[in-house]
Amino acid sequence: MSRQLCTFYLNGLYIGVDVTRVQEVIRYQEMTRVPLAAPEVRGLINLRGQIVTAIELRTRMGFPPRPDSQLPMNVVIRASWGNVSLLVDEIGDVVEVSEEMFERMPETILASMRDLFLGIYKLNQQLLLVLDTERAIGVSDPREVRN
């Protein structure tokens, strides 16, 4: 049994998400800042009339900021409550991986990082980390207002 993953790079890591979760991959889009938002919420983008929250994965994962000279790319994913853009460094390819190659995240990885990934695939040249998209975006619906 195999599965297809849409891949991208972030701070030197090779990361994938299930293609069924990806709506589209697009170049950098201008964003509107959101006052008082969580640090990883970079802003809102207008995607053909639909407002989409842009999450800076570098901030979410505790990596240093992207150099000013490098614009992020958008991986727009379908979340349980709507679409979200994951801001990444570079887009990879769609790869097909065999389920037999899948392994759980090693216990030696920091727990804060381990919780963001479902596991890894050991490929010929590198490791492919599989992102848990719901955890990466924070799971909860941002439209809910809590008192």
Q: How far apart are CA 96 and CA 147, in angstroms?
A: 45
| Paired tokens of 139 | 């799971």
Query: Above 50 in pLDDT, residue 122?
Result: yes
Angstrom distance (rounded) from CA 89 to CA 56? 10
Write down the pLDDT at residue 95. Answer: 94
pTM for this model (two decimals): 0.87
Mean pLDDT, the chain, integer:
89
Flag the least confident range among 26-35, 74-83, 136-145.
136-145
| Class in CATH terms, 2-137 | mainly beta
Does residue 144 register a pLDDT over 60? no
- For residue range 32-77, list pLDDT tens digits in order: 999 988 889 999 999 999 999 999 999 999 899 999 899 999 999 9
CA angle at residue 135 from 30 to 54, to 5 degrees? 5
pLDDT value at 145 more than 60: no
Domain ranges of the chain: 2-137
Is the distance from CB of 110 to CB of 103 less than 8 angstroms? no
